[in-house]
Amino acid sequence: MMSHEELEQTTAKVQQEQRAAGDRINVCVAAGCLSLHSDAVQKSLNEEAKKSGARCSVRGVGCMGLCSAGPVVSHEPAQAVAAEDKTTAQPTRLYGGVQPGHAAKIVASLNREPVRELAIDTTMPFFAKQTKIVLENSGSINPESIEEYIAVGGYRALLRALHEMTPAEVVQEISASGLRGRGGAGYPTGLKWATVARAAGATKYVICNADEGDPGACMDRSVRESDPHRVLEGMILAAYAVGASQGYISLRAEYPLAVQRLGVAIREAKRMGLLGAEIAGTRMSLNLEIRLGAGAFVCGEETALIASIEGRRGTPQPRPPYPAESGLWNSPTLINNVETYANVSPILARGSAWYAAQGTAKSKGTKVFALSGKARNTGLIEVPMGMTLREIIFDIGGGVPAGHTFKAVQTGGPSGGCIPESLLDIPVDYDSLMQAGSIMGSGGMIVMDDSSCMVSVARFFMEFCMSESCGKCIPCRAGTAQMHGLLTRITEGAATHRDLDLLVRLCEMVGATSLCGLGQTAPNPVLSTLRYFKNEYLAHIEDKHCPAGVCECAATPAEVNA
């Protein structure tokens, strides 16, 4: 049985150990830096630390955000580790592009000047302009240690809710926070929870949608790999609020690191009595299982995800009935995505008013984005809702590389759209992005400069939708293939105005008649590029010319004129 006292004891123990260990060298071992062999960096830092006898510990931690500078290593001086007030403490040093050969230098620098050639300026806007709630522990704790999560305040909200709040009060708190689903559609989370809590049925389920399949998106993956207990705590709280005793985390087998870390987290939480039967000595029980999918984008759609968990072919079903009434094995089912669950424990720990004070009138809190493409700083960022696209791209992202000009930013993945320069001052919230012809989506944000052809971009996303369509309904199955064919024809310089008209008609028809969100939103990248970059389409069609020089049109304008 886990109690508040035990949490405090664990915290004290971990903090004492950390203080005793002296300086802390943190190596990012999340997927991005791992792919740049940060594990080798960690190994040589360990060896060097042992060799030198310096009073320091080398730890693997989650994502620190600036993936473009990977492998990233941070150094927390002993004084900062021990400090109660982190703001006045000696600042953490951040190093980028660290290779195993740099290990000796970093270890030697512990009580001296930082290693200049590797140092990253931690005061630059990339860091200064972010507000971290979901990612607050990411990059500072060991994701495979439940003790470290507890030491930074973890599981307090759960215990408090279990002992002091009724399930209805938990739902009320989430409703009052104004949290909206972070999977993309932005449905009010509290309303969803209330619906499942009210639904009739002895058996209810909670599901974590961790499928995350948008091209260029890695927000949820990073949260799972960097702070898995945050997700578990949110799920347990949700299960308590709606009255579920069984939960599933559905994620792709392609994310082996996330699978492993969530597996460790579930085991550890069970060991500590925070998961399983009679959680923390209360009557609340929750069994959590991981279900692996085979990497199908459509399985991020909730009814297809349910089919996949049930062991059936992952195809969507018409809604209603909504999963909140009849979901997994026809029982009321709560489905939220990773980032939504990750917001739950901070809301309950700090109060709904604190959360609701951040963001805009209709979009509260923060949003995590995977900033990628033609920006100088790319990686994982978290900003308050309502920040403008311009601040995100030009301040945090540092703008486009020298010699190029900004053209568009793509948000929302294959369901989203491209936003041009003229709209960069709109605030990032669900409604403003929708008005601009895009969507918030799950958080992919791809910056494009003058070297991108917008027709090719539209074609890329259509190809994605075509191959990820489940094949069940005709408009999506055959319509995306036809639209892809027409877009290909345009990029080849072989299309006519009639083809463009047909493309527009198919966009409208597929959007209006498809069964699920995949097909309904598949035309968005085409419609938004047509809205803002129609001249590029016309250049391909009329002049057989690609303004960005990306497409190989059959004829150049010179040849046509001759």
Partner 1 sequence: MSAAPGAKTFVIDGVDASATPGQTILSAAREHNIFIPTLCHLEGLGDVGACRLCLVEVKGARRLLPACTTRVDEGMEITTNSPRLADDRQMTMQLLFAERNHVCSVCVANNHCEMQSMATTLGMTHVEVPYRFPALTVDASHERFTLDHNRCILCTRCVRVCSEIEGAHTWDVMGRGIQSKVITDLDQPWGTSETCTSCGKCVQVCPTGALFQKNRTGERRGKDPSFLPYLRTMREEL
Q: Which one, of 290, 198, 285, 284, lies nearest residue 250 by Cα?
A: 290
Q: Which amino acid is at 52?
A: S
Contact 386, 428 (CB under 8 A): yes
Taking CB under 8 A as the binding criterion, the range among 27-35, 190-198, 398-406, 479-487 that sits at the site for partner 1 is 479-487
Minimum CB separation from partner 1 for residue 176, in Å?
26
Name the segment binding partner 1 (CB under 8 A); options: 79-87, 109-117, 425-433, 498-506. Answer: 498-506
23 or 468: CB nearest partner 1: 468
Q: Strand, helix or coil at 8?
A: helix
Between residues 467 and 535, which has the closer beta carbon with respect to partner 1? 467
| Residue carrying structure tokens 């970093």 | 106
CB of 439 to partner 1, least distance (A): 15
Number of CB atoms found within 10 A of residue 510's CB: 26
> Can the peptide bond before residue 346 be classed as cis, meaning omega within 30 degrees of 0?
no
- Asked if residue 467 binds partner 1 (CB under 8 A), the reply is yes
Does 506 engage in binding with partner 1 (CB under 8 A)?
Answer: yes
Q: Does 502 bind partner 1 (CB under 8 A)?
A: yes
414 binds partner 1 (CB under 8 A): no
Among the residue ranges 38-46, 80-88, 96-104, 506-514, the one whose residues contact partner 1 (CB under 8 A): 506-514
Asked if 478 is part of the footprint of partner 1 (rule: CB under 8 A), the reply reads yes
Q: Segment contacting partner 1 (CB under 8 A): 232-240, 326-334, 342-350, 514-522?
A: 514-522
| Selected binder of partner 1 within 470, 487, 495, 546 (CB under 8 A) | 470
Contact 397, 129 (CB under 8 A): no
Question: Does residue 214 touch partner 1 according to CB under 8 A?
Answer: no
Q: Residue 508: how many CB atoms within 10 A of its CB?
A: 11
Stretch that binds partner 1, among 4-12, 25-33, 119-127, 510-518 (CB under 8 A): 510-518
Write down the least CB distance from residue 14 to partner 1, Å: 47
Distances (CA, A) of 397 to 186, 416, 432: 25, 20, 21
What are the beta bridge partners of residue 208?
Answer: 249, 336
Strand 205-210 with 93-95, pairing: unpaired
294 binds partner 1 (CB under 8 A): no
- Binding of partner 1 by 320 (CB under 8 A): yes
Neighbours of 79 (CB within 10 A): 11
Edge-to-edge strands of the sheet including 406-411? 379-384, 366-373, 444-449, 406-411, 417-420
Stretch in the footprint of partner 1 (CB under 8 A) among 162-170, 376-384, 469-477, 542-550: 469-477
Place of tokens 């918030």: 440
Do the beta carbons of residue 383 and residue 433 sit within 8 Å?
no
Which residue among 83, 176, 290, 509 contacts partner 1 (CB under 8 A)? 509
Q: Does 317 bind partner 1 (CB under 8 A)?
A: yes
Distance of CA 486 to the CA centre of its chain: 32
**Coil, helix or strand at residue 489:** helix
C-beta atoms surrounding 556 within 10 Å: 14
> Considering the rule CB under 8 A, would residue 468 count as an interface residue with partner 1?
yes
Residue closer to partner 1, measured from CB, 328 or 510: 510
Q: In terms of CB distance, is 285 or 520 closer to partner 1?
A: 520
Under rule CB under 8 A, residue 305 binds partner 1: no
Site residues for partner 1 per CB under 8 A: 296, 313, 317-318, 320, 466-482, 485-486, 502, 505-506, 509, 512-515, 520
